[in-house]
Structure 1
Amino acid sequence: MEKVKDLKKFSLNDNVLDLIDLKFLPRWVILFIDILIILVSLFISHLLIMGLEVKHYRAFPLRYVFLFILSTNVLYMYIFKTYLGVIRHSTFVDLFKLFFANLCCVLTIVIVNYTYYFSSNEKAILIPFLGFYFALSSVFLFVFRLCVKGFFNVIKENKRSASRKKIYILGDDDTSVAIAQVILSNPNLPFDIKGFISYNDRRVSIKLLDKNIATKANFINSLNTGKKEVDGVLVIKEALQKEELDFWVNLLLEHNIKIYKAPSLQKLRGKETISQIKTIQIEDLLNRKQIKLDNVEVKRRHFQKTVLVTGGAGSIGREIVRQVALLEPMQIIILDQSETPLYDTELEMKETYPHINFKFILADISNITRLEPLFNKYSFSMVYHAAAYKHVPLVEDNPHEAVLVNVLGTKNLALLSHKYKVNRFVMVSTDKAVNPTNVMGASKRVAELFVQSLQNLEGNTTKFITTRFGNVLGSNGSVIPHFRRQIEKGGPVTITHPDIVRYFMTIAEACELVLNAGTMGSGGEIYVFDMGDPVKILELAKRMIKLSGFEPDIDIKIIYTGLRPGEKLYEELLSDNARTLPTSHEKIMISKDPSMLFEEIDELTELVIEFSRKEEKQEIVRVLKSIVKEFKSNNSIYESLDK
C-alpha cells in the first residue's frame, strides 16, 4: 500500500487528480495490512460455516485455532517475502508468491490436523472452513493489490493526461482507427485522443474506441465559437487531396491549433514511434502527388552496370546514388571535390547498402587528367552529372569558378563519355538556364548546348540527355532550411522581394526524373518536368512561421532585402522560342531549344575557359552573352554589357 503525500489538487469537474511525491510505506505496514486481511478472511469463513449450521470441532478453543492459522500464514508470507514488493508495481510473480504462501499454509494445517487425528482420534479444524479461508484470503489479498495498482495507474494516467496534448484525429475510416489504436496502446506518446473528425457532415451517434465522432461542420463551428478545447489535430496526409489538406491547414492555423502528421502504420508500430509523429512541415504542403514512371526499364538500364555519379555528395547527387543503389548495379562510383560531405556519404552508403560495391573518389571535374583514368578503368555504362556551382550571388561574384566547374567540368565529362563510349550521359540542369539573368544560369545553359552538340557528332554512340527542373525542397542552401533557421533564432525572416515566386519539387521526385530521363529518347533531348503551380515565397514564409506557432510580422518579422545580383522574380522551364514535344508520360515534356554545332560551341567554350583561367570577369561574361543570346543580366554589375 502506498502513502500519498501533498494532495495538491483534486477536481471532479476536470477529472484531474494531481498527486505529488508518491512514496511507499515501510514493509512492516504492508505485512500488517495483510494480517488484517487474513483476520477478515477468518471471520467471514467462520460466518459462512455458521450459516451452513456446521459446528467447529471443540478439541481446542476457537481463538487458538484462528491464532494458529494466522501464525502459520504469516510464517509462509515471511518465507515467500510477499510483503517486500512495491504494490503499485505488482506483477504475476507477486500474486504467484501470495498464492503459494496461502496454499502452503493450508496444506501445513491439513497435515497437522490429520496428524493430530491419527494420534488422538479427534480432528481440530474443519476442512470446509479451511477451504473457505483459502479462497477468501487469496481473493482478498489479490484484490487488495490489484486495487492499489489500478488506483495508482489511474493517478498516473490522469497526471499524464494533464501534460499530454489533446488531439483529434482527422478521419473516421479504418486507417484512422488503426493509428488511434497504436497511439492509445503506447503510454510514452504525449497525446491524448479526444475524438475523431468525420470527413462528411452526416451526424453519427456511435463512438470509435470509446471516443466521440465530430462532424466536419460541428468541429468547425466549435472552433469558431471557441468551445473546443483541443491542442492539435492529427492528419493522415496520404488520405487527403492537396485541396483538402490546404483547407484544414488554413483552418487550423487560423485558430492556432497544432497540425500533426501521422506516419504510415508500419513506421508507427516501429521502435521509434514517438519520433514518427511530427508537426506538419511546409514540405508536406508543397509536395505534389508522386509521379510514377517506368521502373522496369530503369532497373534494366542499371542492373549489374557500373554507374558514375558526379557531385555525389550533394543533395541531388546523393539521392541519385540512393535510388541507383536500389537497382542492384554492379558498382557505383561517387565523385565529389568536397571532402567532408563525401566522407559523410561514404558512411551513409556503406551502412545503408552494405551489399553494393561503392568507390568514393575525391576529385575536381575541371581536371581532365584526374578524370580520364577513371573512365579508362571502370568502363561506365551510365554517367549522372550532378556536380555544379549553383548559388547565384556567389557565382555572380566569381564567374571564372562557374565556368571552370559548370562549363569546363561538364565538357570534360561529356567528351570522356563520348571517347569511352558510355551508353548514356545524363546532365542535371536548372530552370535558371532558361532566359538566364545571372552567370550561374548562363553557365548551365552553355553546358546544355555543349552536351547537346555531341549527340550528332560523327561516330558518337553515347546518348546525351539533359534534365531541367526548378528548386528542390530541402537541398543544401535552399530557401526552406534557410527560413527554418531564421525562425528558430526568432527572426527576422529575410525575403529579397515580396513578389518573388519559385517552382518546387521534392529531391526524391527530381532524382526519379533524372533516372527515368536516362531511359527515354534517342539522345540530345532536354527533358522538363511539370512542376505544378509556382509558389510565392512571401506566402511560403508566412506559412512556415504559422506552422512554427508564431504570427508573421508580430512574433517573427519579415523584412525585404532587395533582389540579389542576377536574381529574377520568377523562373521559367522553357525558353520563349522553344517548342515542346510530349513523351510517354503526360507530366514529362521535351524542350526543343535552339542548339549549336559542335565546332562552334567547342571554340566558344575554349575561349571562355581561357578567360576564366585568367580571371577576366568582364570578358568571361561577354563571351557567355555571345553564346547565350537571351542572357540579360539583372541587378548585376554586368548589366552594362547588355547595352
Structure 2
Amino acid sequence: MANFLRKLRNRHFFLLDVIALAVIPFVALILRLDGFDDVPIYGQGLMIYTLLGMIVRLIIFWRAGLYERYWRYASIDEMVLITITVLVASVVNAAIYFALRYLPIIDITLPRSVPFIDAMLSFLAIGGTRISIRLAEYWSRRGLPSGRRVLIIGAGDAGVLIAREIQSNVQLNLDPIGFVDDDPAKQGMKIYGVLVLGQTQDLPKIVREYQVAQAIIAMPTAPGKTVRRIVSLCAETGVETKTIPGVYELISGRVRLSQIRDVDIEDLLRREPVKIETMDVTNMVRGKRVLITGAGGSIGSELCRQMAENGASELILLGHGEYSIFRITNELLHWSRTQRRLVEMQQSEADGPSGESRSQADLMFPPQIHSLIADIRDKRRLKAIFHEHKPHIVFHAAAHKHVPLMERNLEEAVSNNVAGTKSLIEAAEESGVERFVLISTDKAVNPVSNMGVTKRVAERLIEAAASRNKGVFVAVRFGNVLDSRGSVVRIFRQQIARGGPVTVTHRDMRRYFMTIPEAVQLVMQAAAMGQGGEIFVLDMGEPVAIEELAYDMIRLSGLEVGRDIDIEYSGIRPGEKMFEELFADSEAHERTKHEKIFVSTDGPGKKDQIARREKLIDELIDAARRSEPAEVRALLEKIVPEYRTSDSN
C-alpha cells in the first residue's frame, strides 16, 4: 500500500477520496432515515456496503485517470471526466449492491434509496474537491496586478488557445483584455472570461479605448490580404503587432505562446491553405526508395522532409554542395531519432495484456538516409548510384536557377540543366524507376533567359522519356518560392539589415510567390496524379509587385522609406521579364481534379518530332561541351522556337 501511494501522482486527492467514500454512505443513510435513531439497525449492511463501494470506486477512479490530472489547470474536459467516472462508478457500485442484497450468503440490507443518495453526494464531494483547486487558482490570479494589455485578433481555436495559455502563465505578465473577430455571432460574447470587443474594422478605436500595448494576430489560416489589412489597421495606432505562424509552420497542430513572433513578409503573402489528397501522396511514397537531387536546396530539402513524413523507406539525398547535404542529413537524422522513439512508444502502448498489437503498417517508421555527393553530369557515377540504391521515385530539383548569373554562363546552364537532366533520365530509365518528377519553373514559359530556356529543354526531355517508358515521367512548373536561397525576399532582408538602399529593378515588375511547403505539397500531389508526359503547372495566385514587397518589408522592420532607408531602381537585368507567365500563349491547358494544379495538354508531338528534337538536344550538349556559344544559342532557338534572347528583345 505504501509503495502504491508513493507512485500515485495525486496522493492527497486519493486520501481525500478514501475519507469521503468512507463518510458519505453514513451521511446518505442519515438523510434517508431523517436522523440517527435507526442507523444501528443497518450497521452491518452499512459497513459492508461502505467497504465494498470504496474498493470498487477507487479502482474505477484510478483506471479512469482521476489521479493523473493536474487539477490546478482543470478544463471542461476534466469536468466531463469527473461526471462520467463518478456516474459509472456509482452505477457499478449500485449494481453490485443490489446483486448481493438478494443473495442469502451475506446480509447487506439497506434502504434501496441509499445508493442513489450516495451517488449524488459522491459526485459533489469528488468533483467539489477538484473544482475548488481550479477556482482557487483562478481567484489567486484575479488578485494579481494586471500585466501588459494584449488584444487577440481572432476568436477561433487558435485565439482561444492563446488566451488560455496567457491566463495559465502569470509569469508572462500579460493581460488578455479582449478578442476582435469578424464573426457577428461572437460579438459581445465572453470566451473563457475574455470579451469579444468588436470586429477588425474597429481595431483603431479598440486599441485607443482600451490602451492596448500589444496585438496578437491569431489567424493561422487567414489569407495574406486579410493579414495585410489587419497589420495596416494596427499600424495606424502604432501598437506592437505580433502573429502566430501560418498553417504551414504549425507542424504539431497546437498553438503555443512560444510560437508568437513578429509579423513577417510571408504573413502578408500568405494564401488559403492547400488541401491535398493525403492518401494519394502517402500511397505513392510509403515503403518506397526516393532519390532527390539538389537535396540540400530550398525545394529539395523540403521534399526530403515531406518524403520522410509520408513514410518513404529510404531517402537518397544527392547533391553537389557538401555543406547543404550535411545540414539536411543532420536534420533528418534528428527527426528520425525522435520519430523512432515515438514509434516505440506507440508500440508499447498498443501491446496490451491480451497480446494484441497494432499492425506495423499503421506505424510511420523513419527512413534510412543515404547522403551522396555527386555531379548529375557524371553518367558513370549516376549509374553506380542507381545500381546500388535502386530508387522507385526520383525528384529532380537540382538546377542552376540564378537568372543574371546564367546569362553570363550559357554553356554551364546547358551543361547542368540539360545535360545533367538527360544523364539522370538515362540512369533512371536503365534502373526502371516507377516515377520521375522534374522541378521546373515559370521562367521556362516564353523564355528570354538562359536559365528559362534550358529548363524548357529539360521539360522536353521529360516528355520524350515519357513517350518511351512504362514509368511515369512528369514535370511540375511553378514560380518563385518565399525565402529560398537567392530569393528577392532574402536579398531585401539583407539590404534592410545593412541600412539600405533596397534595390528594385523596375516599378512595374511583378512576380508569382508561394511558400516552400505549399509548393512541395502541390508538387507531391501532381506527382501522385501523373500518368506520364504531363507538364503540371501550380496555381500561383495573384502576382505581387516587387516595389510593394520592398515597401512592406521596410515597414515591417519598423522603418520608413525616405526617412530611414531608401529604395533605388536598378533597371531590368539581362534575362529578366517584367511579368512571368505560367503558360505560353499557344500552350493549351486545363485544370486537373485539384483546384490548384493545371496541366498542359499540348503533349510532346509525334514520334518523328520527338526524335528530331532529341537529336538537336544531343547537338546542343555537344556544342556546350565545346564552348561554342553562338552554336548553342542557334540550337536553343531551334529546339524552343518561342525563345527570345535579351538582345533580340
Give the TM-score, by structure 1 length: 0.69
Map 1:470-509 to 2 at 5 A. Answer: 470-509=479-518
How far 1:183 sits from its partner (Å)? Answer: 1.7
* Structure 2 unmatched ranges of 5 or more: 1-139, 338-365
How far 1:532 sits from its partner (Å)? Answer: 0.9
* Equivalent residue, structure 2, for 1:423: 434
In the alignment, does 2:444 pair up with 1:462? Answer: no
* 1:168-196 alpha-carbon deviations (Å, 9 max, x no partner): 11134565333112123324546443333
Residue among 213, 225, 234 paired with 1:252:
234
In the alignment, does 2:564 pair up with 1:555? Answer: yes
* Equivalent residue, structure 2, for 1:199: 182
Structure 1 CA distance for aligned equivalents of residues 442 and 623 of structure 2? 26
Map 1:226-237 to 2 at 5 A. Answer: 229-237=211-219
* 1:106-151 alpha-carbon deviations (Å, 9 max, x no partner): xxxxxxxxxxxxxxxxxxxxxxxxxxxxxxxxxxxxxxxxxxxx99
Contact 1:268/1:276 (8 A) holds in 2: no
In the alignment, does 2:165 pair up with 1:182? Answer: yes
In the alignment, does 2:245 pair up with 1:296? Answer: no
How far 1:235 sits from its partner (Å)? Answer: 1.1
* Equivalent residue, structure 1, for 2:601: 592
How far 1:428 sits from its partner (Å)? Answer: 0.4
* Equivalent residue, structure 1, for 2:528: 519
* 1:29-78 alpha-carbon deviations (Å, 9 max, x no partner): xxxxxxxxxxxxxxxxxxxxxxxxxxxxxxxxxxxxxxxxxxxxxxxxxx
* Equivalent residue, structure 1, for 2:462: 451
Structure 2 CA distance for aligned equivalents of residues 346 and 423 of structure 1? 25
Residue among 220, 226, 233 paired with 1:238:
220
Contact 1:196/1:211 (8 A) holds in 2: yes
* Structure 1 unmatched ranges of 5 or more: 1-149
In the alignment, does 2:420 pair up with 1:409? Answer: yes
Structure 1 CA distance for aligned equivalents of residues 162 and 617 of structure 2? 58
Closer/same/farther in 2, CA of residues 569 and 210 from structure 1, 3 Å limit: same
How far 1:202 sits from its partner (Å)? Answer: 8.7
Structure 2 CA distance for aligned equivalents of residues 190 and 482 of structure 1? 37
Closer/same/farther in 2, CA of residues 301 and 545 from structure 1, 3 Å limit: same
Contact 1:168/1:230 (8 A) holds in 2: yes
* Equivalent residue, structure 2, for 1:94: none
Structure 1 CA distance for aligned equivalents of residues 194 and 526 of structure 2? 50
Structure 1 CA distance for aligned equivalents of residues 382 and 541 of structure 2? 38
Map 1:147-226 to 2 at 5 A. Answer: 161=147, 164=148, 166-172=149-155, 175-189=158-172, 191-199=174-182, 213-216=196-199, 219-220=202-203, 222=205
* Equivalent residue, structure 1, for 2:129: none
Structure 1 CA distance for aligned equivalents of residues 251 and 523 of structure 2? 31
Contact 2:304/2:315 (8 A) holds in 1: yes
Closer/same/farther in 2, CA of residues 256 and 537 from structure 1, 3 Å limit: farther
Map 1:390-401 to 2 at 5 A. Answer: 390-401=401-412
In the alignment, does 2:351 pair up with 1:368? Answer: no
Contact 2:162/2:255 (8 A) holds in 1: no
Structure 2 CA distance for aligned equivalents of residues 342 and 498 of structure 1? 38
Contact 1:231/1:258 (8 A) holds in 2: yes
Contact 2:204/2:234 (8 A) holds in 1: no
* Equivalent residue, structure 2, for 1:277: 260
Give the TM-score, by structure 2 length: 0.68
CA RMSD in angstroms, aligned pairs only: 3.0
Structure 1 CA distance for aligned equivalents of residues 251 and 628 of structure 2? 58
How many percent of aligned residue pairs carry the same amino acid?
38
3-state SS of paired residue (1:440): helix
In the alignment, does 2:290 pair up with 1:307? Answer: yes
Q: Which moved more, 1:513-522 or 1:470-479?
A: 513-522
3-state SS of paired residue (1:578): coil
Contact 1:395/1:402 (8 A) holds in 2: yes
* 1:556-586 alpha-carbon deviations (Å, 9 max, x no partner): 2111111111101111110110101332222
How far 1:438 sits from its partner (Å)? Answer: 0.4
* Equivalent residue, structure 1, for 2:629: 617
Structure 2 CA distance for aligned equivalents of residues 195 and 215 of structure 1? 9
How far 1:208 sits from its partner (Å)? Answer: 5.8
Larger radius of gyration: 1
* Equivalent residue, structure 2, for 1:31: none
Closer/same/farther in 2, CA of residues 294 and 601 from structure 1, 3 Å limit: same
Q: Which moved more, 1:591-600 or 1:557-566?
A: 591-600
How far 1:538 sits from its partner (Å)? Answer: 0.9
* Equivalent residue, structure 2, for 1:383: 394
* Equivalent residue, structure 1, for 2:445: 434
Structure 2 CA distance for aligned equivalents of residues 429 and 267 of structure 1? 28
* Matched letter for residue 330 of structure 2: L
* Equivalent residue, structure 2, for 1:603: 615
Structure 2 CA distance for aligned equivalents of residues 277 and 234 of structure 1? 8
3-state SS of paired residue (1:426): strand
3-state SS of paired residue (1:567): coil
* Equivalent residue, structure 2, for 1:632: 644
Structure 2 CA distance for aligned equivalents of residues 296 and 425 of structure 1? 19
